[in-house]
Structure 1
Amino acid sequence: MSILAGIDCGTNSIRLLIAQQQEDGTLKDLVREMKVVRLGQDVDKTGRLAPEALERTFAAVEEYAQKIREYDVQKALFVATSASRDAENAADFVSGVKARLGIEPAVISGDQEAQFSFSGALSGVGSSLTGPLLVVDIGGGSTEFVRGTETAQSAISTDMGCVRVTERFLKDGRVEEAKEFINGLLDEADQVVDFSSINTLVGLAGSVTTITAYALGLEKYDPQRIDGTQLSPQDVIKACEGLRQASEEAKAQMGFMHPGRRDVIAAGALIWQLIVERLLAAREEAGQELNPVVTSEHDILDGITLAAAQLGQTPQ
């Protein structure tokens, strides 16, 4: 059985999964780690990856490279997403990763990102859910929407994420402008994935899992409690409102929240709230109900690691 590794380098965090591929194709986790490096710091404003952001990211890559060697990983796939797609100096990032890890990162398209998110989500919770599903992955710089059942059928990547919305709007308290921006992108997403047709909404990534931890009243982050959680749309909206209104002092006391997420969780909560509200309204207009909203701890990182068997490189 192969030992595979996937690395997901996004706008806010870089994550590593080392897993053993089982005979049935599923993954057994050996290592799962996350570091908040904020690679996308000011990219929306400058169009470039900041030197200090690259330094933080390369330090994390060096640590991950050591673990990949320790576990004798046969194939690894390193995927870079929104920030490195947007940056003029993405080549500096690519060469720096290759020098430290021995493999070249794949700077993927938004559509590819969406496909990995869908396959990763379904690897954990998909078999028991009523389709059509809409898998939503809220990242730092972009949010992916993927509609499908057993496989992805339509997808769109939109340029909204918790870091981008924070830097562009919420740092200056421009909440109404942020809502207008998000709703405009939701109009575009609706044209592709048809919100009114969705039975079950599945949310992925750090903003959604943090909101779910808040809704569950957790004292510390517990992925086993969070994974597969089903909440009514109204409870999700209530949790989003609570986190959006929370003071910095209150957020610092929330044991489930990663310190690197405190300054961007209000934007993540705003994005998730508006998505849930739009789907709820679309279903009601169609005379249908929206099933409970599902949170998955399995996401694009799992999809990347699954794909490493075919697309991965051998680490040097």
Structure 2
Amino acid sequence: MKRYSAVIDIGSNTMRLVIYAHENESRIQEVENVKIVARLRKYLDEDLNLTGEGQFILIDTLNSFRKVIDTYDVDHSFCAATAAIRQAENREDIKEKVKAETGLEMIILSEEQEAYYGYLAVANSTAVEKGFTVDIGGGSTEITYFEDRRLIHSHSFPFGSLTLMEFFDEDKPSKKQVKKVREFIEEHFSQLDWIKEKNAPIVGIGGSARNMAEIDQTFKDYPLAGLHQYEMFDTDIAHISEHLTTLDKKEREKIEGLSKDRADSILPAMQVFHCLYSLTDASSFILSRKGLRDGLLYEQLAGPKENHLYENVLENSIADLVNEYELSSSQTTYARELTKKLFTPLVDQGASTYLTGKDWAITERACTVYNLGSYIDSESSSQHTFYLLANRTIDGLMHIDRLKLALLASFKSKSVYKQFLRPYNNWFLKSEKKKLKLLGAIIKLTYSMDSTKRRIISDLNVTVKEKSITIRCYCTDDFKPEAYQTEKQKKHLEKALKVPIHISFHYL
């Protein structure tokens, strides 16, 4: 049964309500996402009190959110405030006022909590084992460092995209101003020894990081859908930063991928990303669509246990796909076992220089979700399979690995494979393309060995010779349909290996 949870995030720049539907702690889906640009940071006076006007905007927005929440049967709701409210001297009065006028219990997150929830969201939605997280808000910037998915260090800096805008007193910043803000950022970052020269990825959280990734995809005419786990490099960040600083605000507002309300604050945020990349000697910059709000929810769903980490992010994602597209778990288990019985001797006996034992991991995943597009239409199953897997977020898989999975799980023939691969030709070396085609052909053949889904083949005996391959299938029941389909489909593997394949069926 689906249950619903609501999370309100009160930031210095924006306020956002997200409503999630979830069936278990890993199957979480956004069903509502409402954003209001409140810029509460602007309403802190000289004594750091949130002014009456700021309080009105806060209360009015929260009451608007309450009306949306009331349309759902919500089990849990969280209302969390970050830097702007945390830094307000009258924060306790604000908290009481929020409770009295909206009925919401507002939690004011500490710097440590804000950093932790961002880290937790990344650890439970990506395959990054070691790296940094950076979350630039309007009034603070949180950085964490983790190894083996465990949080090691965290720090919150008292500056964000809105406060750093004070360095830019012109619509189009000068090189001198950019240099000055970079010196300020580097001075603060350099105080932390643990962020220097780690050569690990940086995972960016929040609106500024998301906008940067969207701009990069626009510049590159990126062919895949989705932002989560999108990867960039220092040259990409430098290119975007240099381009944006040559434009005035009105020109920046027209940049595709950049939210109009971030046309000014994106400039200092870009400097934060670039400085952090340089100082850490990062291997890449990865965008996470999951952040503080998701971290709050993960903790809630995990319950009172001390460790809020999922055991295996990718396995959870694959299990969700099996569930969502109503694949038979017993059938996919059998397909994996049968494929392993063909794959292993092909590797061990040197059937192809392209194959290694390491290729089993992606082959096994593809076996599990092979032809899931038949859930939509059996006649065009291959096309649906490729599109669904290539263009949806799969937590734990980077974009290129998601594409590889889609190519294998949708394999139908050499011509269809080439058709799917065409927009991504320059993503792979020639040897990688041949390997993927070969792995797809292996999966295609083993699925034809179970064409009636009776699981009658209990074992395979594979012999690889220089000019041929022999496969003996040992069966527990009548095998005529399987023999027919296997003979029909073996041509794909023969073409990939460039040798004839002789397949025979035998009763046990």
Query: What TM-score do you get using the length of structure 1 for normalisation?
Result: 0.84
Opposite residue 48 of structure 1, the aligned amino acid is N
Q: Match for residue 162 of structure 2?
A: 163
Q: How far 1:144 sits from its partner (Å)?
A: 0.7
Q: Match for residue 108 of structure 1?
A: 109
| 1:294 and 2:297 are equivalent in the alignment | no
Q: How far 1:44 sits from its partner (Å)?
A: 7.8
Opposite residue 17 of structure 1, the aligned amino acid is V
SS in 1 for 2:276: helix
Q: Match for residue 189 of structure 2?
A: 186
Q: How far 1:45 sits from its partner (Å)?
A: 4.9
Q: How far 1:263 sits from its partner (Å)?
A: 2.3
| 1:307 and 2:287 are equivalent in the alignment | no
Q: Match for residue 132 of structure 1?
A: 130
Q: Match for residue 226 of structure 2?
A: 225
Of residues 173-182 and 3-12 in structure 1, the stretch that sits farther from structure 2 once superposed is 173-182
Q: How far 1:248 sits from its partner (Å)?
A: 1.3
Tell me, in whole angstroms, the C-alpha distance in 1 between the residues paired with 2:238 and 2:110: 30
With over 3 angstroms needed to count, the CA separation of the structure-2 counterparts of 1:218 and 1:184, relative to structure 1, is same
Q: How far 1:268 sits from its partner (Å)?
A: 1.2
CA RMSD of aligned residues (A): 2.6
Q: Match for residue 263 of structure 1?
A: 264
Tell me, in whole angstroms, the C-alpha distance in 1 between the residues paired with 2:263 and 2:55: 21
Opposite residue 302 of structure 1, the aligned amino acid is D
Instruction: Give CA deviations for 1:170-203 in whole Å, capped at 9, x if unaligned.
Output: 2366444422321121113x32x33322421111
Mapping 1:69-218, distance limit 5 Å: 69-124=70-125, 126-127=126-127, 129=128, 131-148=129-146, 149-166=148-165, 168-171=166-169, 174-188=177-191, 190-191=192-193, 193-217=194-218
SS in 2 for 1:162: coil
Q: How far 1:111 sits from its partner (Å)?
A: 0.7
| Contact residue 8 and residue 14 of structure 1 kept, 8 A | yes
SS in 2 for 1:226: coil
Of residues 300-309 and 227-236 in structure 1, the stretch that sits farther from structure 2 once superposed is 300-309
With over 3 angstroms needed to count, the CA separation of the structure-2 counterparts of 1:44 and 1:170, relative to structure 1, is farther
Opposite residue 295 of structure 1, the aligned amino acid is L
Query: What TM-score do you get using the length of structure 2 for normalisation?
Result: 0.54
Tell me, in whole angstroms, the C-alpha distance in 2 between the residues paired with 1:5 and 1:198: 37
Tell me, in whole angstroms, the C-alpha distance in 1 between the residues paired with 2:188 and 2:162: 16
Instruction: Give CA deviations for 1:120-147 in whole Å, capped at 9, x if unaligned.
Output: 12333x22x3x32101111111111111
Tell me, in whole angstroms, the C-alpha distance in 1 between the residues paired with 2:291 and 2:225: 14
Quote the sequence identity (%).
Answer: 22
Q: How far 1:100 sits from its partner (Å)?
A: 4.2
| Contact residue 20 and residue 27 of structure 1 kept, 8 A | yes
Q: Match for residue 285 of structure 1?
A: none
Q: Match for residue 286 of structure 1?
A: none
Unaligned stretches of 5+ residues in structure 2:
305-508
| Contact residue 79 and residue 105 of structure 1 kept, 8 A | yes
Equivalenced residue count is 295
Tell me, in whole angstroms, the C-alpha distance in 2 between the residues paired with 1:89 and 1:23: 39
Q: Match for residue 38 of structure 1?
A: 39
With over 3 angstroms needed to count, the CA separation of the structure-2 counterparts of 1:175 and 1:278, relative to structure 1, is same
Tell me, in whole angstroms, the C-alpha distance in 2 between the residues paired with 1:122 and 1:81: 21
Q: How far 1:46 sits from its partner (Å)?
A: 4.5
Tell me, in whole angstroms, the C-alpha distance in 2 between the residues paired with 1:25 and 1:226: 19
Q: Match for residue 276 of structure 1?
A: 277
Tell me, in whole angstroms, the C-alpha distance in 1 between the residues paired with 2:101 and 2:85: 17
Opposite residue 82 of structure 2, the aligned amino acid is T
Q: How far 1:12 sits from its partner (Å)?
A: 0.3
With over 3 angstroms needed to count, the CA separation of the structure-2 counterparts of 1:4 and 1:56, relative to structure 1, is same
With over 3 angstroms needed to count, the CA separation of the structure-2 counterparts of 1:175 and 1:240, relative to structure 1, is closer
With over 3 angstroms needed to count, the CA separation of the structure-2 counterparts of 1:51 and 1:243, relative to structure 1, is farther
| Contact residue 143 and residue 154 of structure 2 kept, 8 A | yes
| Contact residue 123 and residue 302 of structure 1 kept, 8 A | no
| Contact residue 43 and residue 53 of structure 2 kept, 8 A | no
Unaligned stretches of 5+ residues in structure 1:
281-289, 312-316
Opposite residue 61 of structure 2, the aligned amino acid is A
Return the index of the structure with the highest Cα Rg.
Answer: 2
SS in 1 for 2:188: helix
